[in-house]
Amino acid sequence: MNIPENLKYSKDHEWSDTNNDVAVIGLTDFAQSELGDIIFIEFPDIGDQIFIGDTIGTVEAVKTVADMFSPLSGEIVEVNENLEDAPDLVNSDPYGEGWIIKIKLNKPKELDLLLDSKSYETLIK
């Protein structure tokens, strides 16, 4: 299972990559593998103000559906529109082309609540 060391992780199996005050959010390798073939993703609207734990979208896979919960608080500033046509990018490249949304953080301190790669690895063991 691929768990890059430079990312932060939530217990709901999302990763965050923060640059200045914008976090890129995606699903972990573990999450995409558990879900199986992903068919589409319902995004939040750009401009939505969200709090940590809010639903930020829904992932429909062939055999199941799962809500995504925001690992951080802030404003949705971008969604990965490439996933409209190629949702399988989340399966094939979960930490790269398969990123899902970008959030402009309003409480960067919340990053301390997230797990590092080692703790996340322990979680999914």
Partner 1 sequence: MTASKKTALYERHINLGAKMVSFAGYQMPVSYPVGIQKEYSAVRNDVGMFDVSHMGQFSIIGDGTLDFLQKVTINDVSKMKVNEAQYSAMCYPNGGIVDDLILYRKSNGYFAVINASNIEKDFDWLKQNLTGDVELENLSDEYSLIAIQGPKTRELLSQFTDADLHIPFYSYIDAEVCGNKIMLSRTGYTGELGFEIYGNHIAVQEIWDSLIDTGEVTPAGLASRDVLRMEMKYCLYGNDIDKTTNPIEASLGWVTALDKGDFIGRDVIAKVRENRPNRRLITFVMEERGIPRQGYEIQVNSENVGIVTSGTQSPILNCGIGLGYVKRGLNKSGNEIDIIIRNKPVKAKIVKPPFVKNTSLME
Residue 65's SS3 state is: strand
Tokens 């301390």, located at residue: 112
Query: b/e string for 11-36 if b means 16 or more Cβ within 10 A?
Result: eebbbbbbeeeebbbbbbbbbbeebe
Task: Indicate whether 82 belongs to the interface with partner 1 (CB under 8 A).
Answer: no
Contact status: 33 vs partner 1 (CB under 8 A): yes
- Contact range with partner 1 by CB under 8 A, out of 5-13, 57-65, 101-109, 112-120: 57-65
Does residue 117 belong to the site contacting partner 1 (CB under 8 A)?
Answer: no
- Residues interacting with partner 1, by CB under 8 A? 33, 36-37, 39-40, 58, 60, 62-63, 65, 91
